[in-house]
Amino acid sequence: MAKPPPSYPVPAVRPVPPALVAGRLVTELRQKETETWVRRLEEEPARFGAWPAGLDPRLIEVLARRGIRQPYTHQAQAIAAAMAGRNVVVVTPTASGKTLCYNAPVLDRVLKDRSARALYLFPTKALAQDQLDELHGLIGDLGAEIGTFTYDGDTPADARRAVRQAGHIVLTNPDMLHTAILPHHTKWVQLFESLEFVVIDELHSYRGVFGSHVANVIRRLRRICQFYGSDPAFILCSATIANPGELAERLIGDAVEVVDESGAPRGERIVVVHNPPVVNRELGIRQSSLKSARDIAAELIRSGVQTIVFAPSRVRVELLLTYLREALREKPGGPERVAGYRGGYLPNERRAIERGLREGTVRGVVATNALELGIDIGGLGASVVTGYPGSLASLWQQFGRAGRARESSLAVLVASSNPLDQYVAQHPEFIFEQGVEGAAIDPDNPYILASHLKCAAFELPFANGEPFGAHGEVMLDILAEEGVLQLANGRYYWMSEAYPAEEVSLRTASTDNFVIIEQGPKPRVIGECDRPTAPLLIHEDAIYLHRGQQYQVEHLDWDDKKAYVQAVSVDYYTDAQLAVDLKVLEREREAPAGGGSAWELGEAAITFLATIFKKVKLHTHENVGWGQIAIPEETMHTAAAWLALGEGAAAGLRRDELALGLEGLAHVLRNLAPVFCLCDPRDLGADAQVRSPSTGAPTVYLYDMVPGGIGLAERVFEARERLLRACLETVRGCRCEGGCPSCVGPQAERGSPAKRAALALLERLAGGA
């Protein structure tokens, strides 16, 4: 490994064990009068089983040469179930050897039957490439001719025929299965006629809108397999979630066997929950979580501990990367010892960072949840999570990226000022005593189901009465009435020349991605951005941060989906504001609340418009200017739950106090709702209206940030009483005077009545609960 530059204070000696660094770090944090809580998780020994009877001896011999003489108990159980043709889902922690649970039965089957085929699905191309290397190593040691290929957007056109003809094992992602394999199934006859196994890795990532889409892709896959006479067994792997069996069964539409007791060893882990100190007690403002995370990560890296830092958004990744490089005095143009990693980076950039982490040349990485997934990035010593990521499942995934070499590891959660983080910081036992969340999908969401019925009809005509989800038959009739399909001789036929899969994105409400182009003598693409975030990140005059470099957006071509940028060096970044307008379309359910108020559940139309952007100074985060954004508004139909206040709830409050109290109520409801509806905070939106046109009363709305909704508003409605009580406890227990980010939101003026008004509303509303 190359010697680091003298200005970069990382020791070249053997690194200090994370457990020793943890003790010193916690002592320093507590000396600063911060709230710091520690728990030590003991190491656990391995528990072994026996190889299932009938497993090919050649495979057992190769695994023994690789140091795997016995399988862990969960591996033995999963391999046996798969070899018997049963669907199985394996739910064990990070680095517990889940890969062997599917590679062993698949290779065993292909070694015994050269015509057998397997399809591996990974949520990202990076994971597929990572697993390809592992498979090639095993197959090379076996000395067998087993065709193993990735099939994704990077596969050259001339190689695709070889994959279709010679691929015993094809590794791909749901997007390619959806757009490039299923619609062209006649070119994949060998695969579908002999498909024995379908592997779905990182099951927990298939939740929400993405999982709902993928469940329909699997419906289409099974339909085509049936047409060609095959009936593959499914092997699914997941990090820990509460409902793996339920999620797996909804995803594949069939029963599964659950293997959830890990036999893998685990090194000692020290978990620290750190709440940064209050720097303005009157306003309840704490030290920035970014700065606290920077200080902790810098200390770990200086001590020789290879560290990953998770940040909640792309912008915060780039800010934290900039701050950390400055703290460690990294020279511009020198070796990249601290790197960023997020969506929007180009594939070759991400591969280089992953390689640097494995080889140890990259000592620290700042990432979004893109690195939650099981990409092999070596044995990191510490994980620093900036802000509670919204779910315990995600938190433990991020914690689990450190300590993969079965050695001791350190995991630190740095709380931000928002109410959800403060709830966790004030109740740290929540992390260990509250079970991890379940993952919700709704494959029968009408928007999603209709899209995949079109794709399925393009692939094979539907027979009258053929099942496809709960509402398939009704939806087929609707599509026929609209002229999208034609019903003839008891079969539904696709009527258009258009290719429906190209118009359906599995991951967002939109198929559109914007490319970001750096201007110059030789223009080059430096990144990409999805449509929902484009108005906020790449509007004209925005400062776009990429790998620690600042770029100013000179021109945004909205129609052609291109943003043209120029490298700049300024001491600020930009933060765009989004205006929201909500109208109720349909009411479905109602329940009473205190003060004559009422909760309702139904459908709503949400209009979004990016209005202005602020220029925010680096480090101090002062507002140093603003500008207007000129981008068309967008409308979405979705599910919503809302709380319309009765006269008793709002009694005694002036209009200005009521407005501030409603905003505060919306703030704390939106931030605590993810605890109760088990979702990412970004999946829920909120709006407050002093006099709503839809209800005629002061109203707070919580809505799904997905067209059609995925059941989150319904969960809010069902948890309404517990949610109101938690909000009341949070606002009552906050030590600020007039409101702060930890309760009802930051207030611009001292002596603001926002907290008092929100507390009055909550006491009356929760009293009714």
Residue 7 pLDDT class (50, 70, 90 cuts):
very low
Cα-Cα-Cα-Cα torsion 290, 293, 294, 300, nearest 10 degrees, comes to -170
pLDDT band at 340 (very low <50, low <70, confident <90, very high): confident
Claim to verify: residue 523 and residue 658 sit in the same structural domain: no
Q: In 3-state terms, what secondary structure has residue 146?
A: coil
Q: Give the bridge partners for 602, in sequence order.
A: 587, 640
Q: Listing from the earlier edge strand, what are the strands of the sheet with 513-518?
A: 524-530, 513-518, 562-568, 549-557, 543-546
Reported pTM: 0.76
* Domain final position from 228, 259, 290: 259
- Report the pLDDT averaged over residues 88-105: 92
Confidence label for 736 from pLDDT (cuts 50, 70 and 90): confident
Q: Which residue has the tokens 């047409």?
A: 227
For residues 79 and 149, state if they share a domain.
yes
- Residue 326 · residue 366 · CB < 8 Å: no
Q: Once rounded to an integer, what is the mean pLDDT over residues 571-577?
A: 88
Residue type, 444: D
Cα–Cα distance, 476 to 471 (Å, whole number): 9
* Under 8 Å between Cβ of 574 and 621: no
Q: Examine the domain organization and report whether 290 and 395 are in the same domain.
A: yes
Q: Do 233 and 334 share a domain, yes or no?
A: no
Q: Is the pLDDT of residue 14 over 50?
A: no
Contact status, residue 500 vs residue 458, Cβ threshold 8 Å: yes
Residue 232, pLDDT score? 97
Say whether both 475 and 527 belong to one domain. Answer: no
Report residue 453 CA to chain centroid gap: 26
- Separation between Cα atoms, residue 178 and residue 512, nearest integer Å: 16
State which amino acid sits at residue 238.
S
105-119, 664-678, 684-698, 725-739: which has the highest mean pLDDT?
Answer: 105-119
Contact yes or no for 102/199 (Cβ under 8 A): yes
- Please report whether residue 586 resides in a domain: no
Query: Does 474 map to a domain?
Result: yes
Q: Which of 203, 230, 259 is the last residue of a domain?
A: 259
CB-CB contact of 207 with 439 (8 Å): yes
Residue 628 placed within a domain: no
Choice between 708 and 253, residue whose per-residue pLDDT is larger: 253
Q: What is the pLDDT of residue 2?
A: 37
Query: Are 386 and 282 within one domain?
Result: yes
User: 594 vs 598, 635, 646, 659, 757, CA distance in Å?
Assistant: 8, 33, 8, 19, 15
* Rounded CA separation 464/481 (Å): 15
27 and 160 fall within a common domain: no
Q: Which of 433, 457, 489 is the last residue of a domain?
A: 433
Residue 11 lies in a domain: no
What's the chain's average pLDDT?
Answer: 86
The percentage of residues in the chain with a pLDDT greater than 70, rounded to a whole number, is: 92
**Tokens at residue 571, please?**
């001491």
Strands (E), 645-741: 684-689, 699-704
Which three-class secondary structure state does DSSP give residue 469? coil
> Helix count (H) and strand count (E) of the chain?
24, 30
Give the whole-angstrom CA distance, residue 59 versus residue 503: 43
- How much is the pLDDT for 418? 76
Per-residue model confidence as pLDDT tens digits over 394-447:
888 889 888 865 678 999 999 988 777 887 888 788 788 777 777 778 898 777
Shared domain for 135 and 244, answered yes or no, is yes
**Tell me: the pLDDT tens digits for 349-375?**
877 888 888 888 889 999 887 666 666
Contact at 8 Å (CB) between 604 and 585? yes
- Asked whether residue 627 is assigned to any structural domain, the reply reads no
DSSP code, position 178: I
Please name the amino acid found at residue 329. Answer: R
Strands 285-286 and 278-280: antiparallel
> Do 554 and 482 reside in the same domain of the chain?
no
Alpha carbons 206 and 367: distance in angstroms, whole number = 20
Owning domain of residue 353: 18-43+266-433
* pLDDT single digits (tens) 447-486: 789 889 999 999 999 998 898 988 888 889 999 988 889 9
CB distance 319 to 618 below 8 Å = yes
Q: What is the mean pLDDT of residues 86-105?
A: 93
* Shared-domain flag, residues 252 and 270: no
CB 236 within 8 A of CB 206: no
Largest CA distance in the chain: 81
Sheet holding 382-386, edge to edge: 35-41, 269-275, 409-414, 382-386, 307-310, 364-367, 338-341
Judged on CB neighbours under 10 Å (0-12, 13-18, 19+), 7 is exposed
Rounded Cα–Cα distance for residues 255 and 235 (Å)? 12
Sheet strands side by side (includes 462-463): 462-463, 491-494, 485-488
pLDDT value, residue 565: 94
In sequence order, which residues have a C-beta less than 8 Å from that of residue 36 and are 6 or more positions away? 26, 29, 30, 272, 273, 274, 275
Type of residue found at 74: H
Query: Same structural domain for residues 517 and 498?
Result: no
In a domain, 531, yes or no: yes
- Residue 197: how many CA atoms within 13 Å on its side-chain side? 34
Whether 438 is covered by a domain: the verdict is no
DSSP-derived 3-state class of residue 543 = strand
Q: Which residue has the tokens 């009521």?
A: 658
pLDDT tens across 28-50, in order? 887 776 688 889 888 889 999 99
**What was the pLDDT predicted at 405?**
54
| Backbone torsions φ then ψ of 89, nearest 5 degrees | -120, 125
Residue in this structure with the two tokens 């597929």, named with its chain if needed:
128
The span from the first CA to the last CA of the chain, in angstroms, equals 63
d(CA 326, CA 290): 13
Can you point out the beta strands (E) in 122-232? 148-150, 169-172, 195-200
482 and 547 part of one domain: no
As for how many domains the chain has, the answer is 5
> Within a domain: residue 107?
yes
pLDDT at 733 over 60: yes
- Distance, in Å, from the CA atom of 545 to the CA atom of 618, rounded to the nearest integer, reads 12
